[in-house]
Structures are given as structure tokens and as C-alpha cells.
Chains A and B, each alone.
Chain A
Amino acid sequence: MGRTLFLALGIFLTIACSVTGLVILPNWQFQGLKPVTKKDGVKYPMPYFGDNHKGRAEYISHGCIYCHSQQVRMKGYGADIRRGWGTRRSVPRDYIYDYPHQLGTMRTGPDLANIGARQPSRDWHSLHLYDPQITSPGSVMPRFYYLFDEVKQGESPRAGAIKVPDGYPNRGSVVAIVPNERGEQLIAYLKWLNQSFPLPEAQQ
């Protein structure tokens, strides 16, 4: 029995060490991270609120993370910055309000850490989510048509509708699209994603 106990304790110790090292310690290290106040008095980062908060839930629910990362690697490591995915590397402070985190480990599609800065237009996001082939021909992203109401030919125009371009081959009788509630929320979240504020620790 003594040997069994030794075996079980030894095994337990191995995992206890790594829980301490990789779960508890990092949490301690980052617990004190606070937002910084910009010159205009606005804080960065800011907690998610309203539509961008709900949009984040849509992002998670549709599993965007399985193709899109949200992290910019530092200059000289990969080509994230040269590709224009960000102006600086991402740092822990950028993520203090991220729960659950959506850092991602796959780039079947481009990084989205700064998509709000790169694509600030609601129209672009709407067309891209409705059918990626409109804005990015050759993309393998699925069409998120269920996040939109379609305005067909002959129907009365609607406020906030976005015209589907004439050259779009699959338009059928659809002349315009309007993001539904979930669509608007997801777009609000995507437009919110922006790490361009130059945090001091990201300059080192």
C-alpha cells in the first residue's frame, strides 16, 4: 500500500505543479491590470456594452474563433503588422474585459484584433457577412444570410437597407439587405474591435 500511495501522490504532485504554474500564477500576475486613461479622458480598454456586448455573444455562438484569431504578433515575428492587421503587437491589457477569451489559434481567415479600425463601414460588414463573395471573391467563409432580412424587387424600400451591388451573380431578386437584430449586434462588435491605441508596454 505504501508504494501505491507514493505512486498516487507523485502523480498528483505533477499536475498540482502545473496547475499552480500555468493557471494560478498567470492569474495573479494579471489581476492588477487596469485600463489606462487616454488624453481625452476616455479609458482604454473599455468594457463591452449594449450591442457590442451582445454581438460578442453572437461571435462566440457562431464559432468565428475557429477561423479567426484576435491577436497581433510582434514586429519581426510573422507578418501580422506588415499585413496591416494591426499597428502594434497585442498585450495582456488589451484583453482585460475579454470573458471568455477569443484569442484563437487558427487563421483560415485574417486576424480580427483590429477589424473595427480596418473596416469601419457598416455597409462593408453587412455585405461581407451576407455573402463573403461580394467583398472577398474566393473566400471560404460561409454566408451568414440568416443574420439579414432581404428586400426583394418590388418591395417597399426600408430604412438602413444596404444595396446589393449589380455585379453580384447570386443576387436573384434581392435588391438590398437589412441586418436583423443579431446581425446589427455582430456588426457592432466587429466595428468595436480596435487595438490601435498605443499602450506604453506595447512599444517596448
Chain B
Amino acid sequence: MNVVNSPTEEIRARIEADSSARVVVTLYWASALFWLTFATLAGLISSIKLHSPDFLNYEWLTFGRIRPVHWDTAIYGFGGLAASGTLLWLQARLCQVKLPFRGPLIIGGILYNLGMVLGVIAVLAGYSTGVETLEFPVWAMTFLVLPFVVIVIANFTMYARKKTQHTYVSQWYLMAVTVWFPVLVLSAEACINFGAVDGVAQAIANWWYGHNVVGLFATPTGIAAAYYLIPKVIGKPIHSYHLSLVGFWTNAIFYNWAGTHHLTGGPLPAWTITVGVVGSMMMFIPVITIGINHHMTMLGSFHLLKTSPTLRFAVMGSMMYTVASFQGSLEALRTHQEVTHFTHYTIGHVHLGMYGFFAPLMFAMMYYAMPRLMRQEWSSARLIRIHFWCTLVGTALYGGAMCFAGVKQGLMMNDPAIPFLKVVEFTIPFLQLRTLAGLILLSGTMAFLINFGRMMARHKLTFADPTLFTSERNWDALLEEEQKV
């Protein structure tokens, strides 16, 4: 094993890793942003439909089709591609090796996008499998699974070639993702869409998958990003190595079992639900240990949030991880589920997790890595500021409105004296607030897209210093200057 010793060698290895990953990671992240925009638009349309059902009321865009398209493009399109890009870049960097299999990875990225397009068209045309989060027909899913074969092999190859002696916490999580995701998707597809399991057992398998696709794919990548970025930006080591070990293994053991709380009160044997409730309760252990590790590392460095865009998104993500996970664990309790199950509360929770925790960490990753990949800085600090505040305000408004409305909706539904349509009437103002939140989130995404697009356009704008919130950059003036040169 070649061990990197001197700091100059280490820097050279890092630059080599970055330039080798440029095309692949940029492709994955640019596609991820495309699908994020698409998913946000689909979500906005679904949201409007729930308070104004005549909006775009065509068969292909009916709520029951655009709503799964929203979730599938968010989790597979944005989530899958953003996480894969993160995985490849972070692993190359932490192992200090060049990204291998770049050709196959590029083909994989293109195939993945093709699979997404096919899947979206299939669901809109009415060919959904009818299984939540696995709506894409198997032939479209295949295009999503194949690239993962290359990603998994690339990940293990980098790990085997690594030039560093130790393994960093983030690498455990990335390793876990590459083992879990193939097992998860293959067993779910085999058991659900090929008919090995049916009836109620299929529902259990369905929610085992539905919960784990977030928990064993998005969550570990998000945590890996937080573990990497927070110490990196503030220049302090992680609070406790031992806590990260406890956090990792308890997360690995317990998250797996939590999914069945999605079926509380359903026609299932009590043991399956109990397993889900116990799994969810035990999740307090990893969530608290990971929380302590992230937040204690930050302690004393909060003033840096004023300047660093990466840190601001990363800290928002890690804080929302704690909040959304506490909420999720409590939500699994039977008493809680009696009220909030079947309501908008669950939808609020999912968005706090995906848009409050996972997405900001992916944004943080992109804000940190893209200038290093492209050797070019972000053109506008103001656009980053807009992106951040839209993400924070939009998510808070979304989560707040939906969770409050959900509790009240559940209490009203549990009172048989209140006619059902009165419950519907009660939720409408909150559903309109949700549309507003969606618009805010979309504006933030647009700001990010503009900044990202300018970087893609590769104007040779080089800055001596990184773009911070305190930087004053004027795009037009810079372009003028560039033309003069």
C-alpha cells in the first residue's frame, strides 16, 4: 500500500482525485438538479390540485399520477443522482485515489437518466405498478439499477486502492450505502414486482422498502456529507470517534426495522407493527449520538455560519436531521399514529427529512466540491443567499403548515360527529400555504440553477478567494472585464 506522507503529496493526490472526478460527478449533479427542478414542479402541480382540483385536470396529469411522479423524481432522480455524485467524489477524495471506471460511470449516468424519463412517462401514461415508491415498471427500474453495479464496483475499487491508512467515518456510511442499496432494490423488486409476495405480506415488504430507501440510501449519504463537511470547513476534528462508531452501528441495526409503522392500525399481525415501533424508538440512540457528534463539533464555531455557504447548508441539514428524526421516532408510537396516520402530518414529516436534512447536505456538498471540480468559483454570493433562505423558509413553512394541519385533520377524522367534507374544508387553507411553500422552494432551486449554470458555461472567471456570504461579486462587471481581456 502506498501511503501518502508529506502534505504536498497529499494535496497533489487531492487535486488528482478532483480532476479525475470532474466529468462524472458534474454529470451526476447537473442531472440531479434537473430532476430536483422537475420534482419540485411536479410537487407544486400536485399541491395546487389538492385545493383547486380543476387545475390542469387531464388524464396524464391527474393527481394520482403526478403525485407519484413527484416523489419518484425526488427520491430517485434528485436523491439517487445527488447521492451517487457525493459518494463517488467523497470516496475518491478520502481514499486519495483517482476515480476509476470513468467511461462506464458516464454511460451509467446517461442510462440512469434514460430510466428516469421512461419511468416518468410510464407513470403519467398509467402504467404504474401501483406499489408506492416502486411505481416505475421493472423495465424502467432496470435502467436505474444497472448503473449502480458500476457505482458499487467503483466504490470498492477505490476503497481497495486507498492511499490513506485510516478509514474516515464518512467512508463507513458510503460503504454501507453501496452494500444496502443493491440488496434493498433487488429484494424489493423480486418480492414485490415479480410476485413472490402478495396481499398483506406485500404491504409489509412495500413499507420495509419505502422506509429504507430513505433510511438506507438518502440518510447515510447525508450523514456522510455532514461528517465530512462540518469538520472540514471549521478546521476542527469530529467531537468523538467512539460516538461515531456507536452511531453508525446502531443506525445500521435499527433503521432497517422501522418501516412497518407506516401500517399501524392496518390488517397486520401485531408483531410486525411492534417491531416497527421498537425499531423507531431505538433510533433515538443513533440520532442522539450522531447529533451530539455534529453539534458538539460545531460548538464554538457558529460565527462561521455568517460567512460559509457550505457550512450554513451543512449545519441546517444536520440540525434538521436531529429534529426530523425525533419527530419520526415519536410519530411511530401507536397513540401518535391513531391521530396522524393517514393525514398530511406524514407528508410534512417526509419533507422535513428530505428537504430539511438530505437536500441541504447535498447542496452543501455541491457548494463545496463544484469549485474544486471546475477550478472556478461561484459567481454570485447573493444567489447562494437566496437559495439558502428559500430552502430554510420554504421547508419550515411546509413542515409547519402540514404537521399542524395533519394533527387537527387526524383529530377531526377521529370524531365521527364531524362530517368528512368538513375535515376537507378545514385543510384547504393549509394546502394553499403548502403551495406557497412549494413556490418558495422552487425559487430557491432556480437561484441555485442560475449559479450552477453559470459555472457550467465555464467563463474563465477565476477568483483568488472563495465565494463567501460576505463576498461582493458582480456578474455583469466580471463578464465585461472578461471580454476586455
Q: Which residues of A contact B167 (CB under 8 A)?
A: 3-4, 7
Assuming the contacts A19-B187, A23-B191, A101-B206, asked whether A61 and B424 have C-beta atoms less than 8 A apart, the reply is no
| B132/A11 in contact, CB under 8 A | no
Interface hit among A119-127, A137-145, A150-158: A137-145
A-B Cβ contacts below 8 A, count:
214
Contact B256 A66 (CB under 8 A): no
The answer to the question of A95 belonging to the interface, with a C-beta cut-off of 8 Å to chain B, is: yes
Contact A23 B179 (CB under 8 A): no
A49 within 8 A of B: no
Partner of B343, one of A26, A30, A107, A110: A107
Q: A4-B159, A62-B62, A63-B68 are in contact. Are A92 and B208 (CB under 8 A)?
A: no
Given contacts A78-B265, A138-B421, whether A105 and B341 have CB atoms under 8 Å apart is yes
Partner among B130, B212, B425 whose Cβ is within 8 Å of the Cβ of A60: B130
**A8 contacts which of B179, B269, B275 (Cβ < 8 Å)?**
B179
Asked if B267 and A62 sit within 8 Å, CB to CB, the answer is: no
Contact B63 A66 (CB under 8 A): yes
**Are B183 and A66 in contact, with the CB atoms below 8 A?**
no
Residues of chain A lying within 8 A (CB to CB) of residue B132: 65, 105
Is B449's beta carbon under 8 Å from chain A? no
Residue of B nearest to A147 (CB): B59
Q: Measured between alpha carbons, how far is A17 from B252 in the docked complex, in Å? A: 11
CA distance A11 to B165 in the complex (A): 21
The answer, yes or no, to whether A18 is at the interface (CB within 8 Å) is yes
Q: Is the CB of B201 within 8 A of A27?
A: yes
Within 8 A of A (CB), among B174-216: 175-176, 179-180, 183-184, 187, 191-192, 195-206, 208, 212, 216
Would you give the 0/1 interface string for B160-172, flagging 1 where the beta carbon is closer than 8 Å to chain A? 1000000100001
B130–A65 CB distance below 8 A:
yes
Selected contact of B57 from candidates A95, A101, A106, A143, CB within 8 Å: A143
**Which of A69-77, A172-180, A185-193 forms contacts with chain B?**
A69-77
**Nearest chain A CB to B168's CB is how many angstroms away?**
12
Within 8 A of A (CB), among B409-453: 413-416, 420-421, 424-425, 428, 431
* Cβ contacts under 8 Å, A100 to chain B: 129-131, 192, 198, 202
Query: What is the bound-complex CA distance between A78 and B416, given in angstroms?
Result: 9
Known: A27-B197, A63-B65, A66-B68. A138 touches B346 (CB 8 A): no
Contact residues in A for B49 (Cβ distance below 8 Å): 140, 142
Does B51 reach chain A (CB closer than 8 Å)? yes
Cβ of A64 and Cβ of B64 under 8 Å apart? yes
Residues from chain B with Cβ under 8 Å of A65 in the complex: 64, 130, 132
Interface flag for B463 (CB, 8 Å): no
Across the two chains, which residue of chain B brings its CB closest to A102? B130
The 8 A CB mask of A30-74 against B (1 = contact, 0 = none) is: 100100000000000000000000000000111111110101011
B64, B175, B192: the one contacting A11 at CB < 8 Å is B175
Query: Is A114 in the interface zone, CB < 8 Å from B?
Result: no
Q: Given A82-B416, A137-B421, A140-B50, answer yes or no on A90-B249 (Cβ-Cβ < 8 Å).
A: no
- Taken residue by residue from 393 to 413, chain B's Cβ proximity to chain A (1 for < 8 Å, 0 otherwise) reads as 000000000000000000001
Contacts of A15 in B (CB 8 A): 179-180, 183-184, 216, 256
Closest to A30 in B: B201
Say yes or no for B378: interface residue by CB 8 A criterion: no
Cross-chain contact of A61 among B57, B128, B183 (Cβ < 8 A): B128
For the complex, what is the distance from the CA of A18 to the CA of B129, rounded to whole Å? Answer: 24
In the assembled complex, the Cα of A121 lies from the Cα of B198 at a distance in Å of: 30
Chain A nearest Cβ from B355, distance in angstroms: 19
- When the two chains form their complex, are residues A69 and B342 in contact, meaning their CB atoms are under 8 A apart? yes
Q: Report A72-100 residues with CB < 8 Å from chain B CB.
A: 73-74, 77-79, 82-84, 89-92, 94-100
Given A83-B420, A138-B425, A140-B428: A77 and B265 interface contact (C-beta under 8 Å): yes
Write out, one digit per residue, whether chain B residues 232-274 have a CB within 8 A of any chain A CB (1) or not (0).
0000000000000000010011001101101101111100100
Question: Any chain B CB within 8 A of the CB of A21?
Answer: yes
B65: A residues at CB distance < 8 A: 62-63
With A3-B167, A136-B421, A139-B424 known as contacts, the answer to whether A105 contacts B256 (CB < 8 A) is no
Contacts A8-B179, A66-B64, A99-B199; A21 near B130 (Cβ below 8 A) = no
A80 to B416, CA, bound (A): 8
Question: How far apart sit A69 and B263, CA to CA, in the bound complex (Å)?
Answer: 11
Pairwise interchain contact A99-B416, C-beta atoms closer than 8 A: no
- A26 contacts B198, C-beta separation under 8 Å: no
Judge if A164 is at the interface, Cβ distance under 8 Å. Answer: no
The distance in angstroms between the C-alpha atoms of A169 and B347, with both chains bound, is 34
A95 smallest CB distance to B (angstroms): 4
Q: Does B54 contact A (CB under 8 A)?
A: yes
Residues on A with beta carbons closer than 8 Å to the beta carbon of B57: 142-143, 145
Residues of B within 8 A of A (CB): 49-51, 53-54, 57, 59, 62-65, 67-68, 126-132, 159-160, 167, 172, 175-176, 179-180, 183-184, 187, 191-192, 195-206, 208, 212, 216, 249, 252-253, 256-257, 259-260, 262-263, 265-269, 272, 275, 334, 338, 341-343, 346-347, 413-416, 420-421, 424-425, 428, 431
For the complex of A and B, the 10 pairs showing the least CB-CB separation, nearest first, are A63-B64, A18-B256, A60-B130, A61-B126, A107-B342, A90-B267, A82-B416, A73-B265, A95-B199, A92-B200
Q: List 16 A-B contacts (CB under 8 A).
A: A11-B180, A12-B183, A14-B252, A15-B179, A26-B197, A29-B201, A62-B62, A66-B67, A78-B338, A100-B130, A100-B131, A105-B132, A106-B342, A106-B343, A138-B421, A143-B53
* 12 further interface pairs, Cβ-Cβ under 8 Å (given A95-B200, A98-B198): A4-B167, A23-B201, A62-B126, A63-B65, A63-B128, A64-B64, A71-B266, A79-B414, A92-B268, A99-B195, A132-B53, A139-B53
